[in-house]
């Protein structure tokens, strides 16, 4: 899942060869493989991330629980992370003067359940190597200009933990409904390459 | 066992097999940020010990301590590291 690398042409060939070998050895069929991938992805949607953030914006107690124990808090919204893999979810909050950015320098670990499949750039060598070395420069290339005094924390997902950024609630949304707030939340906002 | 706030140094290591200690964080000093409990220990699992587990910690490193003067002045990198990657530091 989390080991998709560049040079996708050769990776695709390797996958094809591997699937062929598994079929020949009667370990699985391509049909079974497709079914399990479909089941894996069926409930993995970026809308999950939006719902979590919107709830945290309107409910300070939920926000506190979310930052303390991500898995338990998202389970309250009916999202069972164990459906995908037994990972620990940690949610990190942007605050005035503090920004968070998520990367996986070793491969491409990503909170797939909450954001859907990851974008190609997240898996690129360029993003993975530069996010930890020059996060401010990388953010600027995404069109996200942070003041020099803003502290940036980069979270490198090196073990069985998945990170999600809790963006700051945008100004002028005091009267917005929870659903309207959820619709404002973008995938890049949850990775930290954009503000919301 | 380390506690939140403890200063730790990552080991200088270059194992032949799988490891989750990134090269850019080897031999660096940081602080324990968060206790992750016991997690599946990837290094040994990759070597075939499927039940291997180990205590893990989120460790925060100042960007300057990782990249020197070329690092961002106001930043840090946090990584999730297994206990055997770490030793206590002054």
Domain range list for chain B: 7-88
For residue A115, which phi and psi values (nearest 5 degrees)?
-125, -5
Mutate to test the interface with A, among B33, B77, B83 (most CBs of A within 10 A): B77
List the single residue in B24, B39, B60 with the smallest CB-CB distance to A132: B24
pLDDT, tens only, A119-137: 999 999 999 999 999 999 9
Q: Cα distance from A59 to chain B (closest Cα, Å)?
A: 24
HSE-CB for A17 with a 13 A CA cutoff = 6
- CB contact under 8 Å between B39 and A132, yes or no, is no
Residues 6+ apart with CB under 8 A from A168: A94, A95, A96, A195, A196
- The answer to whether A107 is a known catalytic residue is yes
Burial of A41 (0-12, 13-18, 19+ CB in 10 A): middle
Q: Cα distance from A177 to chain B (closest Cα, Å)?
A: 34
List the single residue in A152, A159, A161 with the smallest CB-CB distance to B72: A152
Which secondary-structure segment (H or E) carries B59? strand B53-62
User: Tokens at residue B71, please?
Assistant: 């690092």
* Mean pLDDT across A50-71: 97
* Mean pLDDT across A17-39: 88
Assign A112 a pLDDT band (cuts: 50, 70, 90): confident
Q: Cα distance from A63 to chain B (closest Cα, Å)?
A: 18
pLDDT, tens only, A152-165: 999 999 988 999 99
Residue indicated by tokens 């420069």:
A137
Residue indicated by tokens 């300057």:
B64
pLDDT, tens only, A164-173: 999 999 999 9
- CB contact under 8 Å between A151 and B36, yes or no, is no
Query: B68 vs A153, B24, B71, CA distance in Å?
Result: 16, 12, 6
**Minimum mean pLDDT range among A84-88, A91-95, B24-28:** A84-88
Residue A98 DSSP SS3: strand
pLDDT, tens only, B70-83: 888 889 999 999 99
Q: Which fold has domain B7-88?
A: SH3 type barrels. (2.30.30)
Q: Which of B49, B83, B18, B79 is nearest to A102 (CA)?
A: B79
Residues of A in contact with B60 (CB under 8 A): 153
pLDDT for the residue A8: 57
- What ipTM describes this predicted complex? 0.96
* Mean pLDDT across A6-10: 62
| Crossing angle (nearest 10°) for helices A46-58 and A60-68 | 120
pLDDT for the residue A84: 66
Stated pTM of the model = 0.89
Instruction: List beta partners, residue B87.
Output: B9
Residues of B in contact with A152 (CB under 8 A): 72, 74-76
Is residue A164 within 8 Å of residue A49, measured between CB atoms?
A: yes
- CB contact under 8 Å between B76 and A88, yes or no, is no
pLDDT for the residue A7: 54
pLDDT for the residue A190: 95
Looking at the structure, give the CATH architecture of the domain made up of residues A45-191: Alpha-Beta Complex (3.90)
pLDDT, tens only, B6-64: 999 999 999 999 999 999 999 999 999 999 999 999 999 999 999 999 999 999 999 99
Residue burial B64-87, b: 16+ Cβ < 10 Å; e: rest: ebbbeeebbebbbbbbbbbebbbe
pLDDT for the residue B17: 93
* Mean pLDDT across A50-74: 96
Assign A2 a pLDDT band (cuts: 50, 70, 90): very low
Give domain limits for chain A.
Answer: 10-41, 45-191
Instruction: List beta partners, residue A120.
Output: none
Q: Cα distance from B88 to chain A (closest Cα, Å)?
A: 20
Kindly identify which residue of chain B lies nearest to residue A92, measuring between CA atoms: B78
- The answer to whether A109 is a known catalytic residue is yes
């Amino acid at each position: 899942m989390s080991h998709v690398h560049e040079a996708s042409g050769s990776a695709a060939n390797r996958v094809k060869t591997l699937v062929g070998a598994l079929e020949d050895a009667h370990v699985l069929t391509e049909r079974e493989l497709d079914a399990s991938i479909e089941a894996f992805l069926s409930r993995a949607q970026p809308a999950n991330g939006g719902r979590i953030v919107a709830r945290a914006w309107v409910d300070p107690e939920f926000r506190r629980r979310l930052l303390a124990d991500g898995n338990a808090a998202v389970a309250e919204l009916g999202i069972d992370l164990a459906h995908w893999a037994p990972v620990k979810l940690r949610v990190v909050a942007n605050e005035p003067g503090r920004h968070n950015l998520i990367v996986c320098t070793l491969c491409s670990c990503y909170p797939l359940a909450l954001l859907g499949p990851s974008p190609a750039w997240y898996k690129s060598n360029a993003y993975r190597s530069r996010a930890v070395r020059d996060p401010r420069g990388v953010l600027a290339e995404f069109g996200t200009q942070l003041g020099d005094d803003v502290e940036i924390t980069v979270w490198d997902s090196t073990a069985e933990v998945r990170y999600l950024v809790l963006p700051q609630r945008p100004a002028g949304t005091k009267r917005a409904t929870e659903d309207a707030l959820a619709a404002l939340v973008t995938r890049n906002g949850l990775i930290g390459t954009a503000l919301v | 066992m380390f506690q939140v706030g403890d200063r730790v140094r990552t080991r200088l290591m270059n194992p032949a097999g799988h490891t989750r200690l990134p090269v850019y964080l080897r031999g660096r000093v940081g602080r324990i940020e968060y206790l992750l409990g016991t997690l599946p220990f990837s290094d040994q699992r990759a070597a075939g010990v499927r039940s291997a587990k180990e205590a893990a910690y989120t460790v925060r490193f100042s960007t300057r301590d990782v990249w020197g003067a070329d690092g961002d002045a106001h930043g840090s990198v946090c990584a999730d590291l297994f206990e055997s990657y770490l030793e206590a530091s002054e």
